[in-house]
Amino acid sequence: MREKREKREKRDKPWIMRTYAGHSTAAASNALYRTNLNKGQTGLSVAFDLPTQTGYDPDHALALGEVGKVGVPVSHIGDMRALFNGLPLDQMNTSMTINATAPWLLALYIAVAEENGVDRKLLQGTTQNDLVKEYLSRGTYIFPPGASLKLTADMIAYTVNEVPKWNPTNICSYHLQEAGATPVQELAYSLSTAIAVLDAVKNGGQVPAAEIPKVVGRISFFVNAGIRFIEEMCKMRAFTELWDRITKERYGVEEASFRRFRYGVQVNSLGLTEPQPENNILRIVMEMLGVALSKDARARAIQLPAWNEALGLPRPWDQQWSLRAQQILAFESDLLEYEDIFDGSHVITAKVAEMVAAAWKEVEDIDARGGVIEAVESGYLKQRLVESNAARLRAIESGEQVVVGVNKFVETAECPLTKDLDDAIMTVDPAVEKQATEAIKKWRAERDQKAADAALAKLKAAVKSGQNVMPASIEAARAGVTTGEWAAALRDVVGEYRAPTGVAGARLDQLQPNAKSKVEALRARVAQLTVELGRRPKILVGKPGLDGHSNGAEQIALKARDVGFEVVYEGIRVTPEQIVASAIEEGVHIIGISILSGSHLALVPQILERLKQKGVHVPIVVGGIIPEADARLLEAKGIARVYTPKDFLLDNIMGDLVELVAKAATTHAAE
């Protein structure tokens, strides 16, 4: 009895528990945060909508269908006030998943805190602010790599003394795994990113050399943890070891506390399935073990996805279920009573050593290529990720990698959780967008226009002359400038960027023998169709809107090439107008649209309308996160087929595409 109590007293403090949340409006999200905190969540994690992340106001044409959808819109200081209304900012630990517009959102946060009499020195939290992984995976970048790196360096230089408890950047490997990265790629690419950021600060001249160790100490990471949880746990230990080496050897940091690998986690979502979605909660729990078990490499903060991840947005109850999993592990189990339970395990030690060696080799290779920025611009890194993801999908398709409920053990009783599928997710009221559009117009009309103009002019001048962007941004925040205006000012000065798609040069491994015959049959069919058509079937794969989920489009494009299609794929964030123009100019036989952000009902009809207007008749298919009812709606409007994650057999999809082209050709010939 006594012993037991003693153990309890020695328990470690649990990690910070968060839920990635935000939707509709600042006020609605504020209410959600309060409920979440009442449920025992200990930190906030703000999800912004895509217009806010890509620097557009709700009334911008590109924001159509996206306002308040996958996160909260924050367009000006008024929204930021509403978002944190009544929450004590000096006691909060706020994580913001914000990147290209990170300086702006931090500026708004500081401005609101100071209005409430909170000293900026007390603010705690994180702005994600890792643009490299945006180019490689996440897709909400705006500016060219050089300019982006300068903005990150500005934020680091500014916060190190002005907001000393803030993590100005959170280097992410999470999104790399979500784009298909292997554990070694995750290690190497994210550490190389950290090196690029620290080099930029070191060589930027804004921070004196003596303060570099302090800067190093403020760098934190955001990591992924997949279902191979032993290997993932080893990955965390490898991170710890490599970061210690880099900080010591490359940046000469002596203080052990500044060299510690501090990281937060969101566990893997890419592997969460649409079929038998209830199984996902079990995957989530196991993945959490990977980042919790080893005390020496334990996460500082954890957020978990929900069981219905592949269906659509989670409802509060879905998120609560995941939060409870964390709480049970932290408070019911005995996990926090022990020192590191793997110390001395030669199995773990050997695995970690192997990963450290492999990752280090990659880090050196990237260095030899001129660093991570160069390797982003040349398309090398993206290409490697696309290849890894293709290998992963092939292994699932061939059954080599087991996914329970998907390619094995598919027999199932009816799941009570998904009896009414379309109610098993959260939907955002479409009226939100209209209200936001009107509200932003009102905001602009009511503010002191002269003050806003002056602040914007000052901001531009600061960026042009290479000054730190933060002071001018904070002033602009106070002057009522909007998110779209802030970003437009920077777009004007530093320009915009389109990242390499990685698909053109991607090479695929040899197929497994059992998969080969299917692909060969498809190739033969395409060859035959080529003779019939007179030229090779040509497909346009298009990603309209602000949605950055490129995995599906990339893999469809690659596979189509593989079976013999000519493929045009222009990357993310193209407009419906561009898609139609490309389809016409390229003379494609079929169009494939990929949308995962939920804006399909706004965007697909636009494309259809325009094609009709231009007199183009080709079959169109749509893929992504499309709820069943919406799929029927789209089909009624003329979409030939709708695909969702459950359609994981790419060979079957290709077979459909070929037949759709063949059918369209014969109907045309008959006309």
Partner 1 sequence: MPPNERATRLAARVASAEKVAVAAALNLIEDRRAQSRSEIEALLTALGKERAPSFGHRIGLTGPPGVGKSTLTAALAREYRARGLHVGVLAVDPSSLRSGGALLGDRARMSFDPEDDGLFVRSLATAGDTGGLAYAANAGVEVLATAYDRVLVETTGVGQTETDVEHVVDTVCLVIQPGSGDVLQFIKAGIMEIPDVIVVNKGDHGKLAQRAAADLRGALDRLRNAGLGDAGHGTPLPVLVTSARDLVGIDALVDIFEAQRARVSEAELLERRHCGRVAWAVALFARRYGEHGLNTMGGRVALLDEVDRALVSGETPVGVVAGLGERCLARLRSPI
Interface residues with ligand B12 (CB under 6 A) are: 47, 50, 70-71, 97, 137-140, 175, 178-179, 269-270, 272, 309-310, 312-314, 541, 547-553, 555-556, 592, 594, 596-598, 621, 623-625, 643-645, 647-648, 650, 653
How near is the Cβ of 667 to ligand GTP at its closest, in Å? 36
656 near partner 1, rule: CB under 8 A: no
Residue with tokens 């773990």: 348
Judging by DSSP bridges, how do beta strands 124-127 and 93-96 pair with one another?
parallel
How near is the Cβ of 377 to ligand GTP at its closest, in Å? 4
The shares of helix, strand and coil residues in the chain, as percent rounded to the nearest 5, are: 55, 10, 35
Q: How many CB atoms lie within 10 A of CB 349?
A: 14
How near is the Cβ of 508 to partner 1 at its closest, in Å? 9
Q: Catalytic annotation on 559? A: no
How near is the Cβ of 387 to ligand GTP at its closest, in Å? 17
Quick one: 35 or 578, whose CB is closer to partner 1? Answer: 578
616 near partner 1, rule: CB under 8 A: yes
133-162 residues near partner 1, rule: CB under 8 A: 144
290 near ligand GTP, rule: CB under 6 A: no
Q: Catalytic annotation on 549? A: yes
Distance CA 413, CA 518 (A): 31
- Helix orientation angle between 280-292 and 316-327, rounded to the nearest 10 degrees: 40
Given 59, 547, 562, 630, which residue is catalytic? 547
477-536 residues near partner 1, rule: CB under 8 A: 498, 500-501, 503-506, 523, 526-527, 530-531, 533-536
Handedness of CA 152, 153, 159, 164 (dihedral sign): positive
Distance CA 645, CA 356 (A): 34
145 near ligand GTP, rule: CB under 6 A: no
Contact between 253 and 209 (Cβ < 8 Å): no
377 near ligand GTP, rule: CB under 6 A: yes
How near is the Cβ of 286 to ligand B12 at its closest, in Å? 16
Using only C-alpha atoms, the chain has a radius of gyration, in whole angstroms, of 25
Residue with tokens 């962007």: 469
Sheet containing strand 166-167, edge to edge, reads: 20-21, 44-46, 93-96, 124-127, 166-167
Residue 371 sits at the vertex; the CA angle it makes with 370 and 377, to the nearest 5 degrees, is 85
Amino acid sitting at position 180: G
How near is the Cβ of 369 to ligand GTP at its closest, in Å? 13
Given 133, 382, 538, 549, which residue is catalytic? 549
How near is the Cβ of 306 to ligand B12 at its closest, in Å? 7
Query: Which of partner 1, ligand GTP, ligand B12, none is residue 550 near (CB under 5 to 8 Å by kind)?
Result: ligand B12
Chain residue at closest Cβ approach to ligand B12: 623
Q: Catalytic annotation on 248? A: no
Q: Catalytic annotation on 441? A: no
Distance CA 453, CA 340 (A): 56
Distance CA 172, CA 488 (A): 26
Query: Which of ligand B12, ligand GTP, partner 1, none is residue 586 near (CB under 5 to 8 Å by kind)?
Result: partner 1
And the tokens for 425?
Answer: 């997710």
Sheet containing strand 301-303, edge to edge, reads: 16-18, 301-303, 263-266, 220-223, 170-172
576 near ligand GTP, rule: CB under 6 A: no
And the tokens for 551?
Answer: 């995995």
Residue ranges binding partner 1 (CB under 8 A): 144, 378-379, 498, 500-501, 503-506, 523, 526-527, 530-531, 533-536, 557-558, 560-571, 574-575, 577-578, 580-582, 584-587, 614-616
For the annotated catalytic residues, the residue numbers are: 20, 174-175, 543, 547, 549
Residue ranges binding ligand GTP (CB under 6 A): 377-379, 500
